[in-house]
Amino acid sequence: MGDGEERFGTWLADALRRLLGESCLGCGERPAKSGLCAGCRAALPRLPESVCAVCAEPVFGADRCGACVTHPPAFVRTVAARVYTFPLDAWIRALKYRGHLPAARALAGLLADALRFAALPDLLIPMPLSPARQRERGFNQALEIARQLPPHLAGPLDTRVLLRARDTEAQAALSIEDRRRNVKGAFRAVRTLSGARVALLDDVMTTGATADAAASALREAGAAEVSVWVVARALR
């Protein structure tokens, strides 16, 4: 490629970035209207083809994992966009802990791709933070992702029906059983849901304990079923 062609290519890329308003979160070079260019999106590790229909944990020769058979959670299915590994984990942490809000658009784009064939819920509820955590961060990462979804997915967004009833210890360093105990009774629905089909949106699912506790509160309020939508699934 000659100098003139190279300069033209650089000029064209810059012009496209200005036109689209953002560059790819992954490479920082190519223009990406949805936050990630096609190359960086395709390079992200995907979940195996065979996963538990309830919690999206990889399984072999079954439609549900042993944990969901033995102790079925309050939610009925999980849609997970990608595996929680590099570089997706770094982008989620950048949003969550450093307030890099542009990452929400890229994360929402990945989730929207995974939801192409999903049934639309009556309500979309972002996983609530405790009041103290909300004040500390100044935003709720699940809500920021939900806001960036396409209108047909984000339309039934409701941020008031589910509350974090009490502060809980950070889950990251806890065992599976301790995680369950930590979040048991941590959520409360403030109105009757009367047979509604609800989707609960979060950034990451690790053990599913938090989603189970939140879904339990929604089911107690009358929700007919609860699905979980997550950007990333951490694999055990």
**Tens of pLDDT, residues 145-169:** 999 999 999 989 999 999 997 665 5
pLDDT at residue 108 above 60? yes
Strands 225-233, 187-189: pairing kind: unpaired
Range of lowest pLDDT (65-69, 131-135, 217-221): 131-135
For 37-58, what is the mean pLDDT?
A: 95
What is the topology classification, in CATH, of domain 48-233?
Rossmann fold (3.40.50)
| Pairwise CA distance, residues 180 & 175, whole Å | 9
For 74-79, what is the mean pLDDT?
A: 98
What angle (nearest 5°) sits at the alpha carbon of residue 66, between those of residues 63 and 71? 110
| Count of beta carbons in the 10 Å neighbourhood of residue 214 | 27
pLDDT at residue 234 above 90? yes
List 180's β-bridge partners, or say none: none
The token duo for 225 is 């079923």
| Count of beta carbons in the 10 Å neighbourhood of residue 178 | 13
pLDDT at residue 12 above 50? no
pLDDT score recorded for residue 16: 44
Residue the block writes with tokens 């984990």: 89
Confidence of residue 39 (pLDDT cuts 50, 70, 90): very high
For 193-201, what is the mean pLDDT?
A: 97
Q: Where in the chain are the domains? A: 1-43, 48-233
